[in-house]
Structure 1
Amino acid sequence: MIDWSKVTELRQEIGGEDFAEVVDLFLEEVDEAMQRLRDGCPGDRLECCLHFLKGSALNLGFDAFSTLCAAGEASAALGNTDQVDVAEICHVFDESKALFLDELPARLAA
């Protein structure tokens, strides 16, 4: 669900203090985008929203979530917005976020 090697690599590249800022910014921006998705993102904006979420997720190692966003983005790009499983995307994000926040302190201490 989380690519912890990606998380570790990012932290090493930018340092601990900047990493904390990146995590805070990521969570803030993605939570806002997820709220738009939960509120019923219009079909003509769905592809763009999922593209943003996919890219953000990849940057912080949210693998399962980014994979679902990529599939949804591809469907939306073909005009098949009704085939995008928004509920599943939201569920996987919620699980990924909880896991990330739960395990992050221990993983950073290692």
Structure 2
Amino acid sequence: MHTTVTEWNMINWARLAELYEDFGEDGIAEVVEIFLEEVGQAQERLLATEDSKALRDEFHFLKGAALNLGFDEIAALCATGEQRATEGRDCSEEKAQLALLLPRTCAVFARDWRMRMAG
């Protein structure tokens, strides 16, 4: 898998470094594992629904999870989707962008976070 500048830059590595200092390597490894699992499940639920309330809830969850680990651009995309769903507006564009960006960003994150914290 080739990492593009966009995928690498979509992660706020300074945020992860703060968490690493707070939790240590073992603690952050557990946080990362839970994050990747829960975000994957939430994205599946998001992509499978058209219900405005469910969309709003999933965008909200993903936004918070993304902010916690420094996925700032993903969080901004989710905030837009959440707002549009709250207003009952079409958020298919946000769903499509998320379907493309989130798995790739998570893959880069899962692959590189230990190396990034070591260096």
- In the superposition, the TM-score normalised over structure 1's length comes to 0.91
The one-letter amino acid paired with 2:68 is: N
How far 1:109 moved relative to its partner? 1.4
Q: Secondary structure at the match of 1:2?
A: coil
> Given the superposition, is the C-alpha separation of residues 104 and 41 from structure 1 closer, same or farther in structure 2, using an over 3 Å criterion?
farther
How far 1:83 moved relative to its partner? 3.2
Q: 2: distance between equivalents of 1:23 and 1:68?
A: 21
Equivalent pairs counted in the alignment come to 109
The unaligned stretches of length 5 or more in structure 1 are none
Residue equivalent to 1:21: 30
- Give the conservation status (yes or no) of the 8 Å contact 2:15–2:69: yes
Question: Residues 76-95 of structure 1 correspond to what in structure 2 (within 5 A)?
Answer: 76-80=85-89, 82-85=90-93, 86-95=95-104
* Runs of 4+ that moved beyond 4 A: none
Aligned-residue Cα RMSD (Å) equals 1.3
Question: Residues 1-110 of structure 1 correspond to what in structure 2 (within 5 A)?
Answer: 1-80=10-89, 82-85=90-93, 86-110=95-119
- In the superposition, the TM-score normalised over structure 2's length comes to 0.84
Task: Give aligned-pair identity as a percent.
Answer: 40
How far 1:84 moved relative to its partner? 4.0
Q: Deviations over 1:7-42 (max 9, x none)?
A: 011110111111111111111111110111222352
